[in-house]
Amino acid sequence: KQEVTQIPAALSVPEGENLVLNCSFTDSAIYNLQWFRQDPGKGLTSLLLIQSSQREQTSGRLNASLDKSSGRSTLYIAASQPGDSATYLCAVRPGANNLFFGTGTRLTVIP
């Protein structure tokens, strides 16, 4: 059974710092991996999607990498801002259908 783990569960950093969020999954047979952002009590905003054949994707200050063989992905956020404060969720797709989610990393960026 696919399990997704995100470490750390919570993270506080001063504004301007670069940071890395980690995601690991137990079954490397995935179709793709998606990173999401969730503000308190709100829905999920898709940040980046990496297909299984890709190694990384970039969008603005965000960079996500995927090492499928080792079951790991990282989300790198450059020059963090208070507006980046949210919970970041990693999800893997084992087939063409549903997503398996981690429990998220709650990020606080201190002004």
Partner 1 sequence: DAGVTQSPTHLIKTRGQQVTLRCSPKSGHDTVSWYQQALGQGPQFIFQYYEEEERQRGNFPDRFSGHQFPNYSSELNVNALLLGDSALYLCASSLETGSNEQFFGPGTRLTVL
Binding-site string for partner 1 from residue 1 to residue 20, where x marks contact by CB under 8 A and - marks none = ---x----------------
11, 13, 19, 49: residue in contact with partner 1 (rule CB under 8 A): 49
Is 103 a binding residue for partner 1 by CB under 8 A? The answer is yes
41, 60, 83, 111: residue in contact with partner 1 (rule CB under 8 A): 41
Rounded CA gap, 52 and 100, in Å? 15
In whole angstroms, how close is the CB of 61 to partner 1 at the nearest point?
Answer: 20
Binding-site string for partner 1 from residue 62 to residue 91, where x marks contact by CB under 8 A and - marks none = ---------------------------x-x
With CA atoms as reference, report the closest residue to 10 among 18, 78, 19.
19
